[in-house]
Structure 1
Protein backbone atom coordinates (compact mmCIF):
# COMPACT_ATOMS: atom_id res chain seq x y z
CA UNK A 1 0.00 0.00 0.00
CA UNK A 2 1.20 3.49 -0.73
CA UNK A 3 -0.19 6.42 1.28
CA UNK A 4 -3.30 6.96 3.37
CA UNK A 5 -4.68 10.37 2.42
CA UNK A 6 -6.91 12.46 4.67
CA UNK A 7 -9.54 14.25 2.58
CA UNK A 8 -12.50 16.35 3.61
CA UNK A 9 -15.49 18.16 2.19
CA UNK A 10 -18.88 19.74 2.83
CA UNK A 11 -21.83 20.44 0.56
CA UNK A 12 -25.53 21.21 0.50
CA UNK A 13 -28.20 19.79 -1.83
CA UNK A 14 -31.95 19.12 -1.96
CA UNK A 15 -31.72 15.53 -0.64
CA UNK A 16 -29.58 13.66 1.91
CA UNK A 17 -27.92 11.48 -0.73
CA UNK A 18 -27.29 14.42 -3.04
CA UNK A 19 -25.59 16.37 -0.24
CA UNK A 20 -23.44 13.32 0.57
CA UNK A 21 -22.47 12.90 -3.09
CA UNK A 22 -21.64 16.61 -3.37
CA UNK A 23 -19.50 16.45 -0.19
CA UNK A 24 -17.65 13.46 -1.68
CA UNK A 25 -17.07 15.59 -4.81
CA UNK A 26 -15.72 18.40 -2.62
CA UNK A 27 -13.24 15.86 -1.19
CA UNK A 28 -12.39 14.49 -4.66
CA UNK A 29 -13.72 10.94 -4.18
CA UNK A 30 -17.20 11.08 -5.73
CA UNK A 31 -16.46 8.61 -8.53
CA UNK A 32 -15.52 5.63 -6.34
CA UNK A 33 -17.35 2.95 -4.39
CA UNK A 34 -16.33 3.42 -0.77
CA UNK A 35 -15.71 0.42 1.48
CA UNK A 36 -15.53 1.33 5.15
CA UNK A 37 -13.06 -0.37 7.46
CA UNK A 38 -12.42 -0.06 11.17
CA UNK A 39 -9.68 2.21 12.28
CA UNK A 40 -6.25 0.55 12.29
CA UNK A 41 -3.35 2.12 10.40
CA UNK A 42 -0.95 -0.52 9.04
CA UNK A 43 2.73 -0.25 9.96
CA UNK A 44 5.10 1.54 7.55
CA UNK A 45 2.34 3.43 5.69
CA UNK A 46 2.47 7.21 5.41
CA UNK A 47 -0.56 9.29 6.48
CA UNK A 48 -0.85 12.61 4.67
CA UNK A 49 -3.55 15.30 5.06
CA UNK A 50 -4.25 16.49 1.50
CA UNK A 51 -7.71 18.11 1.74
CA UNK A 52 -8.83 17.01 -1.74
CA UNK A 53 -7.87 13.64 -3.18
CA UNK A 54 -5.77 13.40 -6.32
CA UNK A 55 -6.79 11.02 -9.11
CA UNK A 56 -6.85 7.61 -7.41
CA UNK A 57 -7.78 5.47 -10.42
CA UNK A 58 -10.67 4.75 -12.77
CA UNK A 59 -14.25 5.69 -11.88
CA UNK A 60 -16.36 2.93 -10.37
CA UNK A 61 -13.52 1.19 -8.57
CA UNK A 62 -13.37 0.46 -4.84
CA UNK A 63 -11.68 2.75 -2.29
CA UNK A 64 -11.04 1.57 1.24
CA UNK A 65 -11.80 4.32 3.77
CA UNK A 66 -12.34 5.24 7.38
CA UNK A 67 -15.22 7.74 7.29
CA UNK A 68 -16.51 10.43 9.63
CA UNK A 69 -19.75 11.79 8.14
CA UNK A 70 -22.76 13.72 9.36
CA UNK A 71 -25.78 15.05 7.46
CA UNK A 72 -28.48 17.40 8.68
CA UNK A 73 -31.56 19.13 7.30
CA UNK A 74 -31.20 22.87 7.65
CA UNK A 75 -31.29 25.12 9.45
CA UNK A 76 -28.51 23.82 11.66
CA UNK A 77 -24.87 22.83 11.69
CA UNK A 78 -22.91 19.67 11.08
CA UNK A 79 -19.35 18.61 11.86
CA UNK A 80 -17.10 15.62 11.22
CA UNK A 81 -13.69 14.89 12.75
CA UNK A 82 -11.03 12.26 12.18
CA UNK A 83 -8.07 11.90 14.56
CA UNK A 84 -5.05 9.65 14.20
CA UNK A 85 -1.84 8.66 15.90
CA UNK A 86 0.99 6.26 15.07
CA UNK A 87 3.02 4.05 17.33
CA UNK A 88 6.75 4.67 17.54
CA UNK A 89 9.10 3.77 14.67
CA UNK A 90 6.37 3.83 11.97
CA UNK A 91 4.51 0.99 13.63
CA UNK A 92 0.74 0.56 13.47
CA UNK A 93 -1.62 3.33 14.48
CA UNK A 94 -5.26 4.26 14.96
CA UNK A 95 -7.91 6.44 13.40
CA UNK A 96 -10.94 7.54 15.40
CA UNK A 97 -13.94 9.34 13.97
CA UNK A 98 -16.80 11.46 15.33
CA UNK A 99 -19.57 13.19 13.40
CA UNK A 100 -22.65 14.97 14.70
CA UNK A 101 -25.01 17.93 14.39
CA UNK A 102 -22.81 20.11 16.57
CA UNK A 103 -19.94 22.58 16.39
CA UNK A 104 -16.38 21.82 15.35
CA UNK A 105 -14.91 22.31 18.84
CA UNK A 106 -17.22 19.64 20.27
CA UNK A 107 -16.39 16.97 17.66
CA UNK A 108 -12.68 17.74 17.91
CA UNK A 109 -12.75 17.30 21.68
CA UNK A 110 -14.74 14.05 21.45
CA UNK A 111 -12.62 12.51 18.69
CA UNK A 112 -9.44 13.14 20.66
CA UNK A 113 -11.05 11.56 23.74
CA UNK A 114 -11.99 8.52 21.66
CA UNK A 115 -8.50 8.24 20.22
CA UNK A 116 -7.01 8.36 23.72
CA UNK A 117 -9.37 5.58 24.83
CA UNK A 118 -8.33 3.46 21.83
CA UNK A 119 -4.68 4.06 22.62
CA UNK A 120 -5.26 2.90 26.20
CA UNK A 121 -6.51 -0.47 24.86
CA UNK A 122 -3.21 -1.20 23.10
CA UNK A 123 0.32 -1.95 24.27
CA UNK A 124 1.83 0.42 21.71
CA UNK A 125 3.78 3.58 22.51
CA UNK A 126 2.02 6.31 20.53
CA UNK A 127 3.45 9.53 19.16
CA UNK A 128 1.63 12.83 18.69
CA UNK A 129 -1.99 12.94 17.57
CA UNK A 130 -3.35 14.77 14.54
CA UNK A 131 -6.92 15.78 13.77
CA UNK A 132 -8.89 17.01 10.75
CA UNK A 133 -12.29 18.68 11.22
CA UNK A 134 -14.91 19.68 8.65
CA UNK A 135 -17.80 21.95 9.73
CA UNK A 136 -20.65 23.50 7.80
CA UNK A 137 -23.78 25.55 8.42
CA UNK A 138 -26.97 24.15 6.90
CA UNK A 139 -29.40 26.63 5.41
CA UNK A 140 -33.17 26.12 5.68
CA UNK A 141 -34.68 23.90 3.00
CA UNK A 142 -31.56 21.88 2.12
CA UNK A 143 -29.50 19.00 3.48
CA UNK A 144 -25.85 19.56 4.36
CA UNK A 145 -23.14 16.92 4.78
CA UNK A 146 -19.67 17.32 6.27
CA UNK A 147 -17.15 14.50 6.05
CA UNK A 148 -13.54 13.56 6.66
CA UNK A 149 -12.12 10.37 5.14
CA UNK A 150 -8.91 8.43 5.49
CA UNK A 151 -8.43 6.95 2.01
CA UNK A 152 -6.21 3.85 1.93
CA UNK A 153 -3.99 3.81 -1.16
CA UNK A 154 -5.52 3.91 -4.64
CA UNK A 155 -8.67 2.41 -6.10
CA UNK A 156 -8.98 -1.27 -6.94
CA UNK A 157 -11.31 -3.07 -9.37
CA UNK A 158 -14.54 -4.30 -7.81
CA UNK A 159 -14.90 -7.31 -10.08
Structure 2
Protein backbone atom coordinates (compact mmCIF):
# COMPACT_ATOMS: atom_id res chain seq x y z
CA UNK A 1 0.00 0.00 0.00
CA UNK A 2 1.25 3.51 -0.78
CA UNK A 3 2.20 5.86 2.01
CA UNK A 4 0.64 9.26 2.71
CA UNK A 5 3.39 11.73 3.60
CA UNK A 6 2.71 14.88 5.62
CA UNK A 7 4.93 17.77 4.48
CA UNK A 8 5.15 21.45 5.41
CA UNK A 9 6.84 24.71 4.57
CA UNK A 10 6.58 28.48 4.74
CA UNK A 11 8.15 31.31 2.78
CA UNK A 12 7.97 35.00 1.95
CA UNK A 13 8.15 36.56 -1.52
CA UNK A 14 7.06 39.72 -3.37
CA UNK A 15 3.67 38.26 -4.45
CA UNK A 16 1.14 35.88 -2.94
CA UNK A 17 1.67 33.26 -5.68
CA UNK A 18 5.46 33.48 -5.38
CA UNK A 19 5.24 32.94 -1.61
CA UNK A 20 2.96 29.93 -2.15
CA UNK A 21 5.37 28.45 -4.70
CA UNK A 22 8.30 29.01 -2.33
CA UNK A 23 6.40 27.38 0.57
CA UNK A 24 5.69 24.36 -1.66
CA UNK A 25 9.44 24.26 -2.45
CA UNK A 26 10.17 24.13 1.30
CA UNK A 27 7.84 21.12 1.45
CA UNK A 28 9.49 19.52 -1.61
CA UNK A 29 6.44 19.50 -3.90
CA UNK A 30 6.81 22.67 -5.99
CA UNK A 31 7.14 20.82 -9.30
CA UNK A 32 3.79 19.04 -9.28
CA UNK A 33 0.19 19.84 -10.16
CA UNK A 34 -1.75 19.51 -6.91
CA UNK A 35 -5.22 17.99 -6.89
CA UNK A 36 -7.06 18.56 -3.62
CA UNK A 37 -9.31 15.94 -2.10
CA UNK A 38 -11.42 16.02 1.03
CA UNK A 39 -10.05 14.46 4.15
CA UNK A 40 -10.43 10.68 4.14
CA UNK A 41 -7.54 8.29 4.72
CA UNK A 42 -8.09 4.95 2.95
CA UNK A 43 -7.96 1.79 5.08
CA UNK A 44 -4.58 0.12 5.55
CA UNK A 45 -2.66 3.25 4.47
CA UNK A 46 0.31 4.37 6.58
CA UNK A 47 0.70 8.10 7.31
CA UNK A 48 4.19 9.50 7.97
CA UNK A 49 5.12 13.06 8.97
CA UNK A 50 8.28 13.71 6.92
CA UNK A 51 8.51 17.52 6.65
CA UNK A 52 9.99 17.55 3.14
CA UNK A 53 8.84 15.13 0.46
CA UNK A 54 11.27 12.78 -1.26
CA UNK A 55 11.33 12.58 -5.06
CA UNK A 56 7.76 11.61 -5.97
CA UNK A 57 8.16 11.39 -9.75
CA UNK A 58 8.66 13.59 -12.82
CA UNK A 59 7.93 17.33 -12.74
CA UNK A 60 4.53 18.33 -14.08
CA UNK A 61 2.71 15.23 -12.91
CA UNK A 62 -0.34 15.18 -10.62
CA UNK A 63 -0.17 14.77 -6.84
CA UNK A 64 -3.27 14.12 -4.76
CA UNK A 65 -3.23 16.17 -1.54
CA UNK A 66 -5.16 17.41 1.45
CA UNK A 67 -3.95 20.98 1.97
CA UNK A 68 -3.94 23.52 4.77
CA UNK A 69 -2.78 26.89 3.38
CA UNK A 70 -2.71 30.48 4.55
CA UNK A 71 -1.25 33.56 2.84
CA UNK A 72 -1.04 37.14 4.07
CA UNK A 73 0.52 40.41 3.01
CA UNK A 74 2.68 41.46 5.95
CA UNK A 75 2.80 42.41 8.64
CA UNK A 76 1.09 39.53 10.41
CA UNK A 77 1.41 35.84 11.15
CA UNK A 78 0.17 32.93 9.07
CA UNK A 79 -0.31 29.41 10.34
CA UNK A 80 -1.46 26.16 8.78
CA UNK A 81 -2.23 22.89 10.57
CA UNK A 82 -3.19 19.37 9.60
CA UNK A 83 -4.39 16.79 12.13
CA UNK A 84 -5.07 13.12 11.51
CA UNK A 85 -6.19 9.93 13.13
CA UNK A 86 -6.91 6.41 11.94
CA UNK A 87 -9.25 3.74 13.18
CA UNK A 88 -7.63 1.14 15.42
CA UNK A 89 -8.52 -1.88 13.26
CA UNK A 90 -6.36 -0.64 10.33
CA UNK A 91 -9.50 0.84 8.83
CA UNK A 92 -10.00 4.31 7.38
CA UNK A 93 -9.05 7.58 9.00
CA UNK A 94 -9.46 11.34 8.80
CA UNK A 95 -7.46 14.46 8.07
CA UNK A 96 -8.67 17.86 9.26
CA UNK A 97 -7.06 21.10 8.17
CA UNK A 98 -7.16 24.67 9.38
CA UNK A 99 -5.22 27.77 8.34
CA UNK A 100 -5.32 31.53 8.64
CA UNK A 101 -3.86 34.63 10.17
CA UNK A 102 -3.41 33.26 13.68
CA UNK A 103 -0.70 32.04 16.00
CA UNK A 104 0.65 28.50 16.34
CA UNK A 105 -1.36 27.68 19.47
CA UNK A 106 -4.67 28.90 18.04
CA UNK A 107 -4.35 27.00 14.76
CA UNK A 108 -3.35 23.83 16.62
CA UNK A 109 -6.31 24.12 19.02
CA UNK A 110 -8.74 24.71 16.13
CA UNK A 111 -7.50 21.78 14.07
CA UNK A 112 -7.74 19.46 17.09
CA UNK A 113 -11.33 20.67 17.69
CA UNK A 114 -12.18 20.00 14.04
CA UNK A 115 -10.69 16.53 14.15
CA UNK A 116 -12.64 15.71 17.32
CA UNK A 117 -15.85 16.87 15.63
CA UNK A 118 -15.10 14.64 12.63
CA UNK A 119 -14.50 11.68 14.91
CA UNK A 120 -17.85 12.32 16.61
CA UNK A 121 -19.59 11.97 13.22
CA UNK A 122 -18.26 8.45 12.71
CA UNK A 123 -18.87 5.21 14.56
CA UNK A 124 -15.25 4.07 14.36
CA UNK A 125 -12.87 3.41 17.22
CA UNK A 126 -9.96 5.79 16.62
CA UNK A 127 -6.35 5.51 17.70
CA UNK A 128 -4.09 8.38 18.69
CA UNK A 129 -4.10 11.59 16.71
CA UNK A 130 -1.17 13.59 15.33
CA UNK A 131 -0.79 17.24 14.29
CA UNK A 132 1.64 19.10 12.05
CA UNK A 133 1.74 22.92 12.30
CA UNK A 134 3.64 25.48 10.22
CA UNK A 135 3.67 29.13 11.28
CA UNK A 136 5.62 32.16 10.10
CA UNK A 137 5.72 35.88 10.77
CA UNK A 138 5.08 38.01 7.67
CA UNK A 139 7.18 41.14 7.42
CA UNK A 140 5.78 44.40 6.09
CA UNK A 141 5.95 44.59 2.30
CA UNK A 142 6.16 40.82 1.73
CA UNK A 143 3.60 38.10 1.16
CA UNK A 144 4.00 35.04 3.35
CA UNK A 145 2.46 31.58 2.97
CA UNK A 146 2.38 28.62 5.36
CA UNK A 147 1.35 25.16 4.12
CA UNK A 148 0.88 21.69 5.56
CA UNK A 149 -0.12 18.97 3.11
CA UNK A 150 -0.86 15.27 3.15
CA UNK A 151 0.53 13.83 -0.09
CA UNK A 152 -1.09 10.60 -1.27
CA UNK A 153 1.51 8.24 -2.74
CA UNK A 154 3.59 9.12 -5.82
CA UNK A 155 2.88 11.45 -8.74
CA UNK A 156 0.82 10.27 -11.70
CA UNK A 157 0.79 11.46 -15.32
CA UNK A 158 -1.67 14.28 -15.84
CA UNK A 159 -2.09 13.56 -19.56
CA UNK A 160 -2.85 10.19 -21.12
CA UNK A 161 -1.36 8.94 -24.40
| TM tier relative to shorter chain | over 0.9
The residue correspondences of 1:6-155 to structure 2 (distance < 5 A) are: 6-155=6-155
Unaligned runs of 5+ in 1: none
- How far 1:154 moved relative to its partner? 0.3
Equivalent position SS for 2:113:
helix
Equivalent position SS for 1:119:
helix
How much is the aligned-residue C-alpha RMSD, in angstroms? 0.5
- How far 1:89 moved relative to its partner? 1.9
TM (norm. structure 1) is 0.99
TM (norm. structure 2) is 0.98
- How far 1:90 moved relative to its partner? 1.3
Equivalent position SS for 2:122:
coil
Unaligned runs of 5+ in 2: none
TM-superposition CA deviations, 1:74-110 (whole Å, max 9, x none)? 0110000000000012110000000010101000000
Distance in 2 of aligned mates of 1:96 and 1:5: 15
Distance in 1 of aligned mates of 2:140 and 2:26: 21
Moved over 2 A (4+): none
Distance in 1 of aligned mates of 2:94 and 2:104: 21
